[in-house]
Amino acid sequence: MSLSYKPNEMMTIAAARALRNDDVCFVGIGAPSAACNLARLTHAPQITLIYESGTIATKPNVLPLSIGDGELCDTALTTVSVPEMFRYWLQGGRMTVGFLGGAQIDRFANLNTTVVGDYHNPKVRLPGGGGAPEIATNCREIFIIMAMGKRAFVDKLPFITSMGHGPTGRERRALGVASKGPTRLITDYCIFEPDPETQEMTVVSIHPGATREEIIENCGWTPTFAASVAETRAPDALELEVLRDIQARTKAAHGG
Amino acid sequence: MSLSYKPNEMMTIAAARALRNDDVCFVGIGAPSAACNLARLTHAPQITLIYESGTIATKPNVLPLSIGDGELCDTALTTVSVPEMFRYWLQGGRMTVGFLGGAQIDRFANLNTTVVGDYHNPKVRLPGGGGAPEIATNCREIFIIMAMGKRAFVDKLPFITSMGHGPTGRERRALGVASKGPTRLITDYCIFEPDPETQEMTVVSIHPGATREEIIENCGWTPTFAASVAETRAPDALELEVLRDIQARTKAAHGG
Amino acid sequence: MAKFLDLASAVEEMVHDGDVLAMEGFTHLIPFAAGHEIIRQKRRDLTLIRMTPDLIYDQMIGMGCASKLIFSWGGNPGVGSTHRIRDAVENQWPRPLAIEEHSHAAMANAYEAGAANLPFAMLRGYIGVDLPKVNPQIRKITCPYTGEELATVPAIRPDVGIVHALRADREGNVLLEGITGCQKEVVLASKRTIVTVEEVVDDLRASSPNSVILPSWTVGAVVVVPGGSHPSYAHGYYKRDNSFYIAWDKVSRERDTFLAWMEENVMSKGPDAFAVHANGGAA
Amino acid sequence: MAKFLDLASAVEEMVHDGDVLAMEGFTHLIPFAAGHEIIRQKRRDLTLIRMTPDLIYDQMIGMGCASKLIFSWGGNPGVGSTHRIRDAVENQWPRPLAIEEHSHAAMANAYEAGAANLPFAMLRGYIGVDLPKVNPQIRKITCPYTGEELATVPAIRPDVGIVHALRADREGNVLLEGITGCQKEVVLASKRTIVTVEEVVDDLRASSPNSVILPSWTVGAVVVVPGGSHPSYAHGYYKRDNSFYIAWDKVSRERDTFLAWMEENVMSKGPDAFAVHANGGAA
């Protein structure tokens, strides 16, 4: 008997699976936070989650609405100042994984969360980079979670807020950045990984029920598919239950 | 009836009197620590004493042997890390007074606590600068407490560990250092203050019973006396009692 | 030594038109009551500095207090846009707003450098990104030992720094606990400072010898405003009002609903209006 | 994740001949037991880093473990000289000792830069003094905004960092409290680390949400050595043995009394010998 679930749930669950028990993860708010906590509550109970508000090894019972909800501090091993967080912990190179989302992404996993249109005369002003520019280079590798769509997956970014593999896929290495950059892009249709040669994000796994045509349709560039594309394992009952549980607790807690 | 006391006690008491109730004082170990705590226990109960171990607004009952005795932390308002102490508190420019001692001093109140003889082939290796080089420039003014003698009060320092007014009295200003530097030098015979023109440390007050001849005899340069030289007020009963009390408690506590 | 003042007097004395003003609190302890007082006193041409402008600057900018914003992430956390800031940037309403934009890491370092009395901060950052192309304050320096290049930003040294804290003792020593953000740095980096607190107590009840405490002589004015951080929160006093953040999206989306809300909840109220939130239960 | 090891195994695994080794603890929490184990294991050619070499490096240098010392204040605090260090510097006994000398401010900043993964530290320091003339590692940098010159020193990134802490939990998370010195920085700046602790407990008993805690995954080896900081001290466990510091002056003044003391108290003992000091009463 197959379970019923939404594409968004598949995305979060696929993202959670990418995390390992011994990861030290710098968590962005929203979908990354849901994925990281799902991992912690299922296969990776020892994972260390760190939020930029300074909370280290936090174990929230409800998902925070903001990056600094009291729940994060109350359940943390310890909480440090924000300058210390960015200096000793992020720049210190202690994070194995940085988990990012964004408004727009290109084929080399560069992200834009700053502006659509001209920077000085914007069409749409987005929130800005926050921690992302330094998360992108100081974590050992980057996972990105984003729902697909032509306005989000674009051929050319109007602004690079945080670097993936660079505008042509070569700049990251050329700049001498030692960390790996985006190694996985998890969407609501599929999973991308960088091609070892070109660094272009390439479809390596398609979620059950999704098609190549849908992926092409929702992507602003012509996506490349790996020689061998897997089918993503469908969510199992435990994954769905834990995810829905924490989301229900979260909704009740935030009273939104 | 006059009280009996030692020159060393007069020195500590004269130094304590220089401190004000609203001073924030960076305290060196030894004689400075005794003077600062004597001030706190007599005329300056609100004085803020800070030790480089990170202890802020500490109120020790016994004088610490080291700069980081537990007593300092136990009685402090709060204790910060040593990098924070040197960055936010000392370099931050928050100290009104830095209190220093030294092995050797010259007429412009430059201090040597590093080496006698050639640096690379030393005759006597002294402890080194510790906090002094930056205390000397980052505190608003500097008080120095040192017992006189020809080996300590020298015509030319073999090594400048911390700057007073500079080798010729002009360098401090020329380097653009905004803080005042040494404004008072308290010894077991007298008190020196810098001449407003030349910055040479000049005798402005002689302790009861001490003579100009003794001062000249115990000074490695020919000391200048101010046009009007005062007589230092002798220790009063309270000052002596409090000083001897804390020193007795200290001796008992350290078991030395 | 810190002076104990009421909020109106503290803002009158410390905050002037044209000041560079930093109001910090990273999600936690955001000084909303002080922001409202600045709006009521109609300060103008402020340069506002905050890593996350949050609703407090959305309100101040929407009410016309600021001519410039220095920031690193400008949304309503977990909800969406700060509409009033967007309206100012995109449509110059109610007045034009210049922006100077950084990353969180750069701003955290810039506060740290300000507290440490350094003229600038350096970081391993801004690599391969576009912000340095549009922000000339982001520069480079070369390590004198390894030849590596590092990004630099100017230290933040505000005219005025305002933070909210948990409590003060009778001498004006101030205790912070929980998510302390950049609040210590802001107070130490600013020329003048206001600290609003939940309460004044005989004993600070510092839980650790290493508690985050600002000595009285580092603080300009201490102002007691129970609940003064709402809809942000105060660790151990009351929780973040996440439902308010969610509701703000609708209030702030249009100019008229925003102005009506401000009239009702800010212009015609005083700091006492925050007290009701102090009784919202322990966080 | 931190491994729980006995002291001999931890030193064997982590500390090698020729290593750059920092053992910190600013008066408080100096890791004496670990120093003694290094002496027993006869490590050689170490570059030793400590702000205040204190008796621990007097002992290690007197026993011939080091070829270089990086420091900022080299006395026996409140007592006088560290005679064994002086003998090494002045008379090359038992072997020559190169020195690299800094100020406290510079070293504190250099540890901080190491923890922050920066290649160097900058400070307002070394103004008008002679140390830069004899230490070529002290250099200058110009502020890209104001043109001011600041002093620089290289970041400290030791091969091995060793500190003593109060306690660890069963996962290897480590708690510090009281005078924490540069200990967090040393652990975060070092490639390999050993943390000796007074005890292992089920619950760290952190008194504050902002307690100074090193997560298990930042620590290489955790070693339980009750009393392992004596004659330094452990906040809440036992006090500084000031009389030992005073007595050391006489023990260390002559080579033969020093060697006899080391034979009796270090070479023929093990880490268990420190346990007696753990029962000296709460600090």
CATH homologous superfamily of C3-102+157-261 equals Glutaconate Coenzyme A-transferase (3.40.1080.10)
Set A9, A52, A71, A239: catalytic member: A52
Tell me which chain A residues have a C-beta less than 8 angstroms from the C-beta of D117: 91-93
pLDDT digits (tens, 9 = 90+) for A199-239: 999 999 999 999 999 999 999 999 999 999 999 999 999 99
Answer whether residue D227 shows pLDDT above 50: yes
Nearest chain D CA: its distance from C124 CA (Å): 7
Task: Give the mean pLDDT of chain C.
Answer: 96
Nearest residue on chain C to D210, alpha-carbon basis: C178
pLDDT digits (tens, 9 = 90+) for A140-186: 999 999 999 999 999 999 999 999 999 999 999 999 999 999 999 99
Tell me which chain D residues have a C-beta less than 8 angstroms from the C-beta of C145: 119-120, 137, 139, 152, 154
With an 8 Å Cβ cutoff, the interface of chain C facing chain B consists of 1, 115-118, 173, 184-185, 188, 206, 209-213, 215, 217-218
Are the Cβ atoms of D143 and C122 closer than 8 angstroms? no
Nearest chain D CA: its distance from A220 CA (Å): 38
Q: In chain D, how many H helices and how many E strands?
A: 10, 15
In this structure, which amino acid lies at residue C134? Answer: V
Are the Cβ atoms of A94 and D211 closer than 8 angstroms? no
% pLDDT > 90, chain B: 87
What's the rounded mean pLDDT across residues D106-118? 98
How far apart CA C188 and CA D223 sit, in angstroms, is 38
Answer whether residue A1 shows pLDDT above 60: no
pLDDT digits (tens, 9 = 90+) for B224-256: 999 999 999 999 999 999 999 999 998 888 764
**Parallel/antiparallel/unpaired status of strands A190-194 and D46-49:** unpaired
pLDDT of residue B255: 67
What's the rounded mean pLDDT across residues C179-194? 98
Nearest residue on chain D to C149, alpha-carbon basis: D119
- Please name the member of C115, C173, C217 whose beta carbon is closest to the beta carbon of B92: C115
pLDDT of residue D282: 44
Does the domain spanning A7-254 belong to CATH 3.40.50.920? no
Answer whether residue C1 shows pLDDT above 90: no
Are the Cβ atoms of B74 and C209 closer than 8 angstroms? yes
pLDDT of residue D280: 57
% pLDDT > 90, chain D: 96
- Please name the member of D27, D105, D128 whose beta carbon is closest to the beta carbon of B53: D27
**From its phi and psi, is residue D281 left (phi > 0), alpha (psi between -120 and 50) or beta?**
left
Nearest chain C CA: its distance from B175 CA (Å): 17
pLDDT classification of D140: cutoffs 50, 70, 90? very high
Q: Which helix (H) or strand (E) holds D152?
A: strand D149-154
pLDDT of residue C75: 93
pLDDT digits (tens, 9 = 90+) for C242-266: 999 999 999 999 999 999 999 999 9
- Residue C213's SS3 state is strand
pLDDT digits (tens, 9 = 90+) for B76-110: 999 999 999 999 999 999 999 999 999 999 999 99
pLDDT digits (tens, 9 = 90+) for B7-49: 999 999 999 999 999 999 999 777 889 999 999 999 999 999 9
Nearest residue on chain D to A47, alpha-carbon basis: D217
Answer whether residue A5 shows pLDDT above 90: yes
Answer whether residue D9 shows pLDDT above 60: yes
Answer whether residue C280 shows pLDDT above 90: no
Chain C contact present for D145, CB below 8 A: yes
Task: Give the mean pLDDT of chain D.
Answer: 96
Where are the domains positioned within chain C? 3-102+157-261
pLDDT of residue A43: 97
pLDDT of residue D281: 46
Are the Cβ atoms of D209 and A78 closer than 8 angstroms? yes
What are the two backbone dihedrals, phi and then psi, of residue D131, each rounded to the nearest 5 degrees? -60, -40
Task: Give the mean pLDDT of chain A.
Answer: 95
- Please name the member of D75, D131, D184 whose beta carbon is closest to the beta carbon of B81: D184
Give me C50's structure tokens: 């905050």
Residues 165-194, chain D, touching C (beta carbon < 8 A): 177-178, 180
Per the listing, tokens 């005083």 go with: C270
Q: Which of B143, B111, B142, B141 is nearest to B129 (CA)?
A: B111
Tell me which chain C residues have a C-beta less than 8 angstroms from the C-beta of B80: 210
What's the rounded mean pLDDT across residues A6-11? 96
pLDDT of residue A255: 67
% pLDDT > 70, chain B: 98
Task: Give the mean pLDDT of chain B.
Answer: 95
Nearest chain A CA: its distance from C9 CA (Å): 30
Are the Cβ atoms of B76 and C209 closer than 8 angstroms? yes
Answer whether residue C281 shows pLDDT above 50: no
pLDDT of residue B181: 98
Where are the domains positioned within chain B? 7-254
pLDDT of residue C282: 44
Tell me which chain B residues have a C-beta less than 8 angstroms from the C-beta of C213: 56, 77-78
- Please name the member of D122, D124, D211 whose beta carbon is closest to the beta carbon of C208: D211
Distances (CA, A) of C225 to C37, C194, C236, D40: 11, 12, 15, 61
Give me D259's structure tokens: 């060697």
Nearest residue on chain D to C236, alpha-carbon basis: D209
B52 is catalytic: yes
Contact A156, C125 (CB under 8 A): no
Model ipTM over 0.95 = yes
Contact C38, C11 (CB under 8 A): yes
Are the Cβ atoms of C215 and B88 closer than 8 angstroms? no
- Half-sphere exposure (Cβ direction) of C239: Cα atoms closer than 13 Å: 19
**From its phi and psi, is residue A149 left (phi > 0), alpha (psi between -120 and 50) or beta?**
left
- Residue A55's SS3 state is strand
Contact A171, A123 (CB under 8 A): no
Tell me which chain A residues have a C-beta less than 8 angstroms from the C-beta of D211: 78
Nearest chain C CA: its distance from B93 CA (Å): 7
Q: From start to end of chain B, where are the E strands?
A: 24-27, 48-51, 55-56, 78-79, 97-100, 104-105, 111-112, 115-118, 121-125, 141-145, 182-186, 190-194, 201-206, 224-231
pLDDT of residue B252: 87
Nearest chain D CA: its distance from A124 CA (Å): 32
pLDDT digits (tens, 9 = 90+) for C36-83: 999 999 999 999 999 999 999 999 999 999 999 999 999 998 899 999
